[in-house]
Amino acid sequence: MCPLYFCPLRQNHQPFISFVTLYKHIRSIHRNDIPFNIRCTLNPVCGSIYTNFESYRSHLNRYHHDLLNDYNVPNYYTVNGNQQPPSLLLSNPNIIQDEEDKCIAAQDNLDPDELETFERTRSSENDIDWPLFTSLINEEDDMEQFTINTFEKYYIRFLLDLREGHLLPQNIIKSITSYFTAMLDTLFKIIQHQATQSSTGLLFPLEDIKKLILQIITSVSNITKNDYQFSKRCEEHFGYLEPLKIQLNDQDDCGYYVPIQQSIKNLLNKPDTKNDPDLMLTYRDGTAAKDNPSLKLHPNSFLIQLYSDGIGVTNPIGPKKDEHKLTLYYFVLEDLPDVIRSILQSIGLVGICPTKYLSLQTNRIKYFEPIVKDLNYLQTAGLAAQTFN
């Protein structure tokens, strides 16, 4: 049976028996809607959101052209007497391709303004690829005993995906938590109802179930109570380390430093790093690496590449509208495979500081002192990671 299509821009509307009838409906009824907001769900790899009809039409012509040209009404929709197939109320049953549909491809190919609009919209689509974790439950977790602490860990992982991957604000996360706790409360009521209707007796006391769910609700609510509680749980379960504030002078000028030792340890302890038996060490082939005294003493050392970048930030609605320049420092492990080293998640933040503060030598000395200290310690003493034990 062929699927029905529903208009995402209008509630309580009859379904459409073909996509082209839905497209005609959107084109004639909603093309000038303000706001126009529609998500393409025609296949699992789409999911893009379009904010104007022209960009949506360009997407359909490029990736779903076969649906736009399919004017066949399914055989099981036959009109007998007063029976009428869904959504033919808006269009003639003998669907005829009109002139605008005939020249969709020509318009998309010949109109540079529309093509520019499409590309601009594509660049701001909401299809975010956020591989924060390789799987919901790691293989190591299958061997551990599942407790309330385990439940809390996976819930924090879920919140991390919402906050850092999908950039949801804290108030939205609190709303999700409120609904989640309400669902758990409803779950207990369902269990209670089913248990009272059962004739086989209770295998698990209701009071114990209630205590368990109340404990889960309390734990979930405490996680999202404020940013401090959330950060502490991330530190406990995922090794999150709060950036260190470096005071540069008495005028409260400061910069921030993310301890590089803990960042490298977290990177090496990731499950996908543990499961990779291969380690690419291409930089050792150069003459400079072969003459390096540290590598001669420790031939299995890692190469850490540090680099800096300058950015400008501004607050157009604040009292100070001028651009503020910041200097950021990053690190990356050169031993990672090229395909892994190039992704954003493999680059670690080392520090951030307003550029104007670093123009003074005294501030530079204070700011780089803990960074240089940690780097010297890594070169002389190294660090222990469970990955390679």
Q: DSSP string spanning 82-127?
A: T---TTTTSS-SS----HHHHTHHHHHHH-HHHHHHHHHHHHT---
Q: Residue 125 corresponds to which tokens in the numbers above?
A: 């689509």
Residue 167's region, left for phi above 0, alpha for psi from -120 to 50, else beta, is left
75 found inside a domain: yes
Radius of gyration, CA atoms only, the chain: 29
User: CA–CA separation, 333 vs 335, rounded Å?
Assistant: 5
Mean pLDDT of the chain: 72
Answer whether residue 49 shows pLDDT above 70: yes
Q: Residue 59 corresponds to which tokens in the numbers above?
A: 């997407």
Pair (75, 188) in one structural domain = no
Pair (249, 383) in one structural domain = yes
Pair (257, 372) in one structural domain = yes
pLDDT of residue 222: 82
At 162, is the pLDDT very low, low, confident or very high (cuts 50, 70, 90)? Answer: confident
* Nearest alpha carbon to residue 373 among 282, 263, 276, 259: 259
Pair (155, 218) in one structural domain = yes
Is-cis flag, bond preceding 35, omega within 30?
Answer: yes
pLDDT of residue 369: 92
pLDDT of residue 284: 64
Q: Please report how the helices 361-380 and 260-268 are oriented relative to each other, as an axis angle in degrees rounded to 10.
A: 40
134 found inside a domain: no
Under a CB-based contact definition with an 8 Å cutoff, are residues 351 and 258 in contact? yes
Pair (58, 73) in one structural domain = yes
Residue type, 122: R
Q: Residue 214 corresponds to which tokens in the numbers above?
A: 């109340």
User: CA–CA separation, 79 vs 319, rounded Å?
Assistant: 67
Task: Choose one of 193, 208, 238: the last residue of a domain.
Answer: 238
At 121, is the pLDDT very low, low, confident or very high (cuts 50, 70, 90)? Answer: very low
Task: Choose one of 221, 238, 255: the last residue of a domain.
Answer: 238
Q: Residue 318 corresponds to which tokens in the numbers above?
A: 């604040």
The mean pLDDT of 377-385, rounded to a whole number, is: 81
User: CA–CA separation, 34 vs 272, rounded Å?
Assistant: 45
Task: Choose one of 123, 149, 183: the last residue of a domain.
Answer: 123
Q: Which domain holds residue 72?
A: 19-123
Under a CB-based contact definition with an 8 Å cutoff, are residues 170 and 251 in contact? no
Pair (369, 282) in one structural domain = yes
374 found inside a domain: yes
338 found inside a domain: yes
pLDDT of residue 163: 80
Pair (283, 375) in one structural domain = yes
Answer whether residue 40 shows pLDDT above 50: yes
Pair (148, 255) in one structural domain = no
* Nearest alpha carbon to residue 84 among 96, 73, 71: 73
The pTM (predicted TM-score) of the whole model is 0.35
Pair (256, 231) in one structural domain = no
215 found inside a domain: yes
pLDDT of residue 327: 93
Residue-wise pLDDT for 314-370, tens only, equals: 877 766 666 788 999 999 888 777 777 778 888 889 999 999 999 899 999 999 999
User: CA–CA separation, 366 vs 244, rounded Å?
Assistant: 13
pLDDT of residue 329: 93
What phi, psi does 324 have (nearest 5°)?
-110, 125
pLDDT of residue 367: 92
Pair (179, 207) in one structural domain = yes
pLDDT of residue 144: 57
Number of domains in the chain: 3
Pair (256, 224) in one structural domain = no
User: CA–CA separation, 117 vs 111, rounded Å?
Assistant: 10
Q: Bridge-partner residues for 310, per DSSP?
A: 327
* Nearest alpha carbon to residue 302 among 278, 324, 276, 284: 284
Answer whether residue 45 shows pLDDT above 80: no
Pair (103, 156) in one structural domain = no
User: CA–CA separation, 23 vs 8, rounded Å?
Assistant: 11
